[in-house]
């Protein structure tokens, strides 16, 4: 019997190493078909899963309560599994070089408990070559086994979009790859259990790694173009959203919008590609140019807020500014690599101490990563400026009469920044508001 057949028969188990926004939904999906061990070194996170709590909000508490995943923080349980999926973050360092520490650490742990006949599939976003050139030697060293003889490897990049209820694991085509044809078939068959939209068999692991890293690089470049257009059109006195709505009536116009580019994918993955290119003697032109534009948007937005305060004769130093939304994207609790922190920090440079309100965000994570404590909506009063940074569903029903109550009543004109353009511009195109959006 093949490993795939043994998994179906319940004779073997699949392990999921890394139970975050990507790994946990995959584990839950596989557990509907086969036996699954969900491993994470974070015992506190595992304890939440045991209590039926989904801290990521990706599948919901009820799905966690009902799942058959065997959640554990004990790496010994990995010995019981033959098919392993590694789904851990791959961030960048402060100098924008790849930080492979999480994937290397997970690989070392897995290697200690790897058994003969296993297949290890990586889902973490990496530059081409990491799986075979970096991860395989670690697996061999820790296990004492030989890749290609005692175990096989594959790569299947994650495409889950945190907070997205439409593009889910079940509805998107899954790229799969393996070190040889036999491995490719096994990996493809296993993923077909959960990738109901089908799989695409890449011709090599490096091709699959490259495909993933360019997907987000392409989005990053397109958003950078939109951000640059926004800066240009503001100087012309033209509303960018209106321009994009007009241009979007053409059949082949790509409908991207300006905004903050954070998170652990779009704002990170391009640096993996350019790092590898640099090591081969090629200095990126377009990709790094786009990265520079997007990385500077928080500073640009803060400067526009300050300029609007000055235009209304409102003192900048000590101004009361409210920021609504702190996560890296809407309807998601994840604050890792959020670019709203850039707005916050830049405003502080001007002597402003903003209050931050986010009903969706993981407050413990924000406190740990940024030292920020969130306020409640009740604190939103006597403001000199309010900036809606994230398009959470919680904010979509806000009306102009609600907004007016947030401001210092002494201000005849209220400085209101709608970064994502989620409100109707006509509602705020009055003398009562100095309305600004990207």
Active site residues per annotation: 265
Beta bridge partners, 145, equal: none
The 3 state secondary structure assigned to 354-396 is CEEECCCCCHHHHHHHHCCCCCCHHHCCCECEEEECCCCHHHH
Contacts of 362 (CB under 8 A, 6+ apart): 55, 333, 334, 335
**Residue 412 burial (CB < 10 Å; 0-12/13-18/19+)?**
exposed
Contacts of 344 (CB under 8 A, 6+ apart): 323, 354, 356, 370, 372
Q: Can you say whether the dihedral through the CA atoms of 182, 183, 188, 189 is positive or negative?
A: positive
Spatial separation of the C-alpha atoms in residues 150 and 142, rounded to whole Å: 13
């Amino acid at each position: 019997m093949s490993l795939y057949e043994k998994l179906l028969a319940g004779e073997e188990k699949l392990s999921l190493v890394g139970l975050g926004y990507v790994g946990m939904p995959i584990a839950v999906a596989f557990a509907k078909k086969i036996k699954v061990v969900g491993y994470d070194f974070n015992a506190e996170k595992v304890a939440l899963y045991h209590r039926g709590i989904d801290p990521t909000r990706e599948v919901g508490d009820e799905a966690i309560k009902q799942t058959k995943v065997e959640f554990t923080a004990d790496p010994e349980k990995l010995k019981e599994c033959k098919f392993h999926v590694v789904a851990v973050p791959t961030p960048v360092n402060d100098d924008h070089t790849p930080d492979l520490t999480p994937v290397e650490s997970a690989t070392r742990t897995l290697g200690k408990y790897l058994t003969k006949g296993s297949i290890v599939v990586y889902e973490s976003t990496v530059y081409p070559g990491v799986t075979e050139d970096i991860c395989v030697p670690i697996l061999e060293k820790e296990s004492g086994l030989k890749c290609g003889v005692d175990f096989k490897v594959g790569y299947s990049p994650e495409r889950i979009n945190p907070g997205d209820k439409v593009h889910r694991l079940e509805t998107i085509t899954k790229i799969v790859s393996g070190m040889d044809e036999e491995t490719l078939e096994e990996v493809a068959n296993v993923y077909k259990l959960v990738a109901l939209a089908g799989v695409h068999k890449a011709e090599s692991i490096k091709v699959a790694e490259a495909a993933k890293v360019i997907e987000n690089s392409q989005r990053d470049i397109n958003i950078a173009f939109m951000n640059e257009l926004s800066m240009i059109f503001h100087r012309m006195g033209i509303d960018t959203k209106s321009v994009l709505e007009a241009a979007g009536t053409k059949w082949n116009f790509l409908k991207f919008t300006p905004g903050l580019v954070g998170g652990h994918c779009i704002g990170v993955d391009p640096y993996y590609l350019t790092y590898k290119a640099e090591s081969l003697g090629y200095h990126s032109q377009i990709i790094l140019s786009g990265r520079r534009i997007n990385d500077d948007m928080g500073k640009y937005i803060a400067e526009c807020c300050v300029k609007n305060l000055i235009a209304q004769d409102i003192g900048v130093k000590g101004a009361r500014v409210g920021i609504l939304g702190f996560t890296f994207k809407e309807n998601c609790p994840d604050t890792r690599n959020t670019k709203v922190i850039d707005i916050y920090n830049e405003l502080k440079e001007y002597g402003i101490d903003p209050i931050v309100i986010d009903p969706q965000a993981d407050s413990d994570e924000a406190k740990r990563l940024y030292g920020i404590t969130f306020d409640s909506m009740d604190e939103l009063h006597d403001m000199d400026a309010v900036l809606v940074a994230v398009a959470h569903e919680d904010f979509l029903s806000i009306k102009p009469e609600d907004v007016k109550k947030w401001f210092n009543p002494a201000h005849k004109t209220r400085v209101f920044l709608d970064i994502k353009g989620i409100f109707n511009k006509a509602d705020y195109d009055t003398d009562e508001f100095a309305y600004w959006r990207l």
